[in-house]
Amino acid sequence: MHASLSQQLGRRAVLGAGLCFGAFGLGRGAFAAPNAERLVAAARRQVGVTLSYDPAYSVLPFPGGDVDRAKGVCTDVIIRAYRDALGIDLQALVNADMKRDFAAYPRNWGLRRPDRNIDHRRVPNLAAYWTRQRARLPVSTDPADWRPGDIFTSMTGGRFPHTGIVSDRTTAAGRPLVIHNIGRGAREEDALFDHPLTGHFRWKV
């Protein structure tokens, strides 16, 4: 049985912490850079594998640490996609950048030093990292401004950060689908504009 929305949002606080049933097209894929196509494909492969949302703190190997892929949170979709598609380890990159300039990152959790087990799994930290990488773009509610492989951040329930990857598929109305985990495992669905957007990132790697 799936958790209620309030339970899902409550769990997300620890870390921050179906497919669209209408018709969809594939035309946006033609505009995706090769790395973006690989990133989307790696995110899509998590659908049906990551089946639950679990924000419990875990001690992870370093680098390359991960929890069991059957579970995870919204950030894990992105972390796994970058590792699988491009060999990029956000755990190591965020940890190294936080060691260089800890003050540049949010102080939401009362930490005095980086924690390589959890820092990269927190949406505000990823947003800070991509901003420092000059990947931030203006936030837009125009579907045409979003490309496959872009990263969005949003605020659910008024205070819970969320994130996901923009797909190369769209609805019949032209809205891009997203691949994310918002409580029931990794899914690809029409949800980009479901919650107030707080960030738009296009990381050129």
Q: What is the pTM of this model?
A: 0.85
Q: What is the CATH number of the domain that holds 88?
A: 3.90.1720.10
Which has the higher per-residue pLDDT, 2 or 40? 40
| Model pLDDT, residue 18 | 26
Share of the chain above pLDDT 70, in %: 84
Number of domains in the chain: 1
Range of the domain at 38: 5-201
pLDDT at 69 over 50: yes
pLDDT at 12 over 80: no
State the chain's mean pLDDT as an integer: 88
In the chain the beta strands, taken as DSSP E runs, fall at: 24-25, 136-137, 151-156, 160-171, 176-181, 186-189, 197-201
Report the distance separating Cα 83 and Cα 96, nearest Å.
Answer: 16
Report the distance separating Cα 76 and Cα 50, nearest Å.
Answer: 10
If we measure between CA atoms, which residue out of 182, 178, 184, 183 comes closest to residue 165? 178
* The dihedral sign for the CA sequence 163, 164, 166, 171: negative
Question: What does the pLDDT look like over 21-38, one tens digit per residue?
Answer: 223 334 444 345 789 999
